[in-house]
Amino acid sequence: MPRRRAAPLLRGAAAALALFLGFAAHGADYTMTNLWRAWLGAHSDSSPALSPDGALFIGTAKGDLFAIRTNGAIRWVFHTDREIRSSPALAADGTVYAGSRDHSFYAVTPEGRLKWRFHTGAWVDSSPALARDGTVYFGSWDKVFYALNADGTLKWRFPTGGEIVSSPAIAADGTICFGSHDRRFYAVGPDGKKKWEFPTRGPITSSPAIGADGAIYLTSVDGNLYALNPDGTLRWRFRTGGITESSPVLGEGDTIYVGVNHELWWITPGGKTIWPRGDGEPFYSTPLALAGKSVAYLSRRGAQMVLDERRDVICSYYCRGGGRSCAAVGPEGAFYVIDQGYQLGALDGPLPLARSTWPRFRGNSRNTGNVADAPFPPASGATR
Q: Give the three-state DSSP class for 372.
A: helix
Query: For residue 93, is it within any domain?
Result: yes
Query: For residue 384, is it within any domain?
Result: no
Query: For residue 247, is it within any domain?
Result: yes
Query: For residue 3, is it within any domain?
Result: no
DSSP for residue 203: -
Task: Report how far apart, in Å, the C-alpha atoms of 51 and of each of 99, 175, 359 are.
Answer: 19, 25, 17
CA–CA distance, 133 with 130 (Å, rounded to integer): 8
Q: Give the three-state DSSP class for 21.
A: helix
One-letter amino acid of 334: A
Whether the Cβ atoms of residue 282 and residue 302 lie closer than 8 Å to each other: no
Query: For residue 352, is it within any domain?
Result: yes
Whole-number pLDDT of residue 18: 41
Q: Give the three-state DSSP class for 274.
A: strand
CB atoms within 10 A of CB 71: 10
Whole-number pLDDT of residue 25: 40
Domain tally, the chain: 1
Whole-number pLDDT of residue 380: 54
- b/e code 153-187 from CB counts within 10 Å (16+ = b): eebeebebebbbbbbbbbbbebbbbbbbbbbbbbb
Q: Give the three-state DSSP class for 104.
A: strand
Listing DSSP states for 294-349 in one string gives EEEEE-TTSEEEEE-TTS-EEEEEE-SS--S---EE-TT--EEEEETTTEEEEE--
Query: For residue 127, is it within any domain?
Result: yes
Domain of 264 in residue numbering reads as 13-373
Whole-number pLDDT of residue 164: 98
Whole-number pLDDT of residue 319: 87
pTM for the full model?
A: 0.90
CATH number of the domain enclosing 356: 2.130.10.10
Listing DSSP states for 237-272 in one string gives EEE----S-PPPEE-GGG-EEEEETTEEEEE-TTS-
Q: Give the three-state DSSP class for 20.
A: helix
Query: For residue 324, is it within any domain?
Result: yes
Query: For residue 320, is it within any domain?
Result: yes
10-residue block means of pLDDT along the chain (384 residues)? 36 40 48 94 94 95 97 97 97 97 98 98 98 97 98 98 98 97 98 98 96 96 96 96 90 94 93 89 88 90 89 90 83 88 90 94 97 81 41
Whole-number pLDDT of residue 281: 78
